[in-house]
Structure 1
C-alpha cells in the first residue's frame, strides 16, 4: 500500500504480521511472560547493586547501567509488540514509530558503549590493580555512565531528525516493529545525507567501542597466558560473562542487520521474526542471569535478600 502524496505520513503499516487466528492469545501470553521475566530479573539485579554499598564499585556500577539499559530496551519493544499481537490492523502512528526507533537505536548504542567501558574496567582491575581505584574513582565512573547515555541519545536524536524530515512515498514497513533503515528506504528521493550519516554513525556505534574492547582483552589475554594461576583464574571468572554478553549482542545485531538489509523472502516468517528480535530479547534475558550466576558477590547478596524476606 503506497502513499504517493507528498503530505507527511501519519501512520505506518507493519507488513510482517500474519493472521494467526486464536493463536494470537497464546503468543500474547508467552510474550507477556517473557517480558515479565526480563523486567523481574533485571530489576532484581538493579536493586541488589543499588541497596548494597559493598557493590558500589566500578564493575558493579557499570553492570547496573547495563541492566537499566536492558529494561529500557525491552520496554521500547515489548508493550508495542503485545499491542500488535492482539490487533487486527497492524498500523502504528508516525510519532510512536519514531519514538520506538529512538528507544531501540539508543539501546544498541548504550549497550556497546557500556560493554566497552566494562572491558576497560576489567583491564585495569587485572593488569593495573594498584592504580584501579585511582583511575576509576566513584565520580569518574558516574561521569562515564552519564557520558555513555548522553552520547547515545544525542547521536540517535540526530539520526532521527534526519529521518523525520524526509519526504516518504510509502508507508509499509516489512517488519514487526519500526526500524530507521526501513523508513529511510521509503524516501521519494535519494537520502544521501541520511546514508552518509548512517555510515558514519555505524562506525561510531561499532568501531569506537570495539577499539577499547580489543585493546583491553588483548592485554587480559596476555595475563591469562603468562600470569600466575591465581591471576589466570581471576581473569577467567570476571571476563567470561562479559565476553559471552559481547558475543551474544554482536551476533544479535548482525542477525538484525542481515534480516533488514537483505531480501529474505524465501526464509520462513518465524525465522525472520526471531532474527529481528534476537538482539533485544536474548540480551535482556541472558545478561542478568549470566552475571547473577557467575559473579559470586551478586549471588551472595541475592541469597541474603531472599533470606531476609523469608
Structure 2
C-alpha cells in the first residue's frame, strides 16, 4: 500500500459505548489516576526508606514502574477517544502503541520470573542469599529484564511494520500486534514463526517459575519461619502472576476467537484487562501483604507533627 506511513487506522471498539461516554471517561480517568498514584506511592516509599533498599523491593519498584508504562500506553488514547467523535490512530501511533504494550507485557513477565528467582534464593538458600543476590547482581537482572523486553518488542514491531496492509479497521479500543497482522495482504509466516519463538521463550520462563515455587512450597512446609516468609512475599507474587497471566490469556482469546461485534462492551473489558488490572492491583497486593511497606504507608499517611501529636 502506497504511503503506508500516512495511513490512519479506525478503532471500532468504542462504537457501542458512545451513549455513556461521560461515565466511561470519568471511570477511566479515575482508574488511571489511581493506578499512577498507588504505583508512585510504593516507588517513593521504597526509594526514601533505607530499610527497604533490598532486592525484593527494588524488583517491586521495577514492576510498578513497568505498570505505569503499560497503563500510560492505553489510558491517554482511550480518554481522548471517549471525548472525540472519531476514533482513529495514525500508522506511526499504532506501531508505537504496539511497541510499548509489547514491552510492558514482556517486561512484566520477565520481572515476575526474576522475582521468583529472588524468592527462591531468599527462602531455599538463606545463608547464601547475600552473597548471591548482590547489588551488582540486582543491577544485572534489571538490565537483562529491560534489554530482553526491548529487544523482543523491537523485533516484533519491526516484523509487523514491514507488512503491506490492505485494511484499516481494528475491532478494538487500542492497537495490538495481532490485529494489525490480520490486516496484512501478504504472507505473515515470519511473524507467526516469531510468535512461536516468543511462546517458547516465555514457556521456559514459566517452567523456571514453577520449579522455583516447587522448591519454595517444599521449604515453607518444613520450617515455620519459611512458611511465614512465603505468605508475606511469595503469595503476593503468585497472585500477581496469576492475575497478569489470566488477563493476558483473556486478550489472546479475544483477539483470536472473538465472535464479531456481539457483547462489544464485555469484549472491550476482557481485551484491556491486562493493561488495567495488573498495574492497579500489583502495588495494592504488595502494599497490603509486605509488613515493611504497609507500616511505612500507614506511618506516612497517619503521622502528625509533634505539636499536634502531644494533644492526642
For this structure pair, what is the TM-score category when the shorter chain's length is used for normalisation?
over 0.9
Whole-Å separation in 2 of the counterparts to 1:104 and 1:27 = 22
Task: Say whether residues 1:257 and 2:252 are aligned partners.
Answer: yes
Which residue of the partner structure matches residue 224 of structure 1?
Answer: 220
Can you give the 5+ residue segments of structure 1 that lack an aligned partner in the other structure?
none
Whole-Å separation in 2 of the counterparts to 1:49 and 1:30 = 29
Whole-Å separation in 2 of the counterparts to 1:271 and 1:12 = 22
Q: Decide which of 196, 204, 208 is 1:208's aligned counterpart.
A: 204
Q: Decide which of 240, 262, 272 is 1:277's aligned counterpart.
A: 272
Whole-Å separation in 2 of the counterparts to 1:152 and 1:254 = 19
Count of equivalent residues: 304
What secondary structure, in the 3-state scheme, does the structure 1 residue paired with 2:190 have? helix
Asked whether the 8 Å contact 1:241–1:294 carries over to 2, the reply is yes
Distance change in 2, residues 1:20/1:60 (3 Å): closer
Which residue of the partner structure matches residue 124 of structure 1?
Answer: 121
Structure-to-structure mapping, 1:57-96, within 5 angstroms: 57-96=54-93
Q: Decide which of 134, 142, 145 is 1:145's aligned counterpart.
A: 142
Moved more, 250-259 or 186-195: 186-195
Which residue of the partner structure matches residue 286 of structure 1?
Answer: 281
Q: Decide which of 298, 301, 305 is 1:303's aligned counterpart.
A: 298
What secondary structure, in the 3-state scheme, does the structure 2 residue paired with 1:176 have? coil
Asked whether the 8 Å contact 1:264–1:272 carries over to 2, the reply is no
Which residue of the partner structure matches residue 51 of structure 2?
Answer: 54
Deviations 1:50-108 (A, max 9, x none): 11111111111110100000111001110011011111111101111111101111100
Cα RMSD for the two superposed structures: 1.5
Whole-Å separation in 2 of the counterparts to 1:78 and 1:158 = 25
What secondary structure, in the 3-state scheme, does the structure 2 residue paired with 1:288 have? helix
TM-score, structure 1 length as denominator?
A: 0.94
Asked whether the 8 Å contact 2:16–2:264 carries over to 1, the reply is no
Whole-Å separation in 1 of the counterparts to 2:254 and 2:236 = 27
Whole-Å separation in 1 of the counterparts to 2:261 and 2:108 = 31
Distance change in 2, residues 1:266/1:178 (3 Å): closer
Q: Decide which of 241, 263, 268 is 1:268's aligned counterpart.
A: 263
Can you give the 5+ residue segments of structure 2 that lack an aligned partner in the other structure?
306-312
Which residue of the partner structure matches residue 171 of structure 1?
Answer: 168
Task: Say whether residues 1:242 and 2:233 are aligned partners.
Answer: no
TM-score, structure 2 length as denominator?
A: 0.94
Which residue of the partner structure matches residue 95 of structure 2?
Answer: 98
Task: Say whether residues 1:188 and 2:196 are aligned partners.
Answer: no
Cα deviation for residue 195 of structure 1 reads 1.1
Cα deviation for residue 231 of structure 1 reads 2.1
Task: Say whether residues 1:108 and 2:95 are aligned partners.
Answer: no
Whole-Å separation in 2 of the counterparts to 1:218 and 1:70 = 27
